[in-house]
Amino acid sequence: DARVTQTPRHKVTEMGQEVTMRCQPILGHNTVFWYRQTMMQGLELLAYFRNRAPLDDSGMPKDRFSAEMPDATLATLKIQPSEPRDSAVYFCASGRGQGTSYEQYFGPGTRLTVT
Amino acid sequence: AQSVTQPDIHITVSEGASLELRCNYSYGATPYLFWYVQSPGQGLQLLLKYFSGDTLVQGIKGFEAEFKRSQSSFNLRKPSVHWSDAAEYFCAVGTFMSGYNKLIFGAGTRLAVHP
């Protein structure tokens, strides 16, 4: 049963610290999405990768957030420095992204708390 | 612009009762429509999808949804709700935007089930 994995599941950190979240997409999927979920804003798309290339990161605060995909099995989302307003659940999703394939498969999320 | 509206933020039903969750979309072409479910502390799981053909689609966990083009709706239904169905439900439309396939999500409907 193929699924997206994310680590860590929970992270508590102090303001100003660096946070790195990791995602392993489903094998064979060539697209990766990063989302942020909060009560106030709901699901927000932060970044999109296809074939490991970042094609859209317009939803991401550029000054402190960065997303990379060093290889096909690993996507990372980094926040440096972190702020209390970054507290949220961060989801990674993967998909095939070809033709009419819009389906995305979500990981369990990383719950981030910045104090 | 494409959008998805879920008019009900919270719904409460009794176990064993029928359920209908509403979803309205705004999309110029033939829509690709999805329902996802998010259990507490989990990621989003795909319940069902509509691409074309039969307007009544069956999904997992006994859910079904009906696409009505004239009403721009894609309502989710279940004939008899179980306590384990308590979760948040998201409707989404697939769109090709900024050069890639992406999902536009509704704000979600939180379902509570009374015993």
Q: Which domain holds residue B102?
A: 3-114
Instruction: Locate the domains of chain A by residue range.
Output: 5-114
Q: Tens digits of per-residue pLDDT, B63-109?
A: 999 999 999 999 999 999 999 999 999 999 988 777 778 899 999 99
Q: Which chain B residues are Cβ-neighbours of A33 within 8 angstroms?
A: 102
The number of folded domains in chain B is 1
Residue-averaged pLDDT of chain A: 93
User: Is A109's CB within 8 Å of B51's CB?
Assistant: no
Architecture label for domain A5-114: Sandwich (2.60)
Strand partners, B32: B94
Beta-carbon contacts below 8 Å between A and B: 55
Q: How confident is the model over A1-7, as a mean pLDDT?
A: 91
Q: Which chain A residues are Cβ-neighbours of B95 within 8 angstroms?
A: 102
Q: What is the DSSP string of B30-80?
A: PPEEEEEEE-TTS-EEEEEEE-SS-SEEE-GGG-EEEEEGGGTEEEEEESS
pLDDT more than 70, % of chain A? 97
Q: Tens digits of per-residue pLDDT, A76-104?
A: 999 999 999 999 999 999 998 766 678 89
Q: Return the CATH number at B63.
A: 2.60.40.10
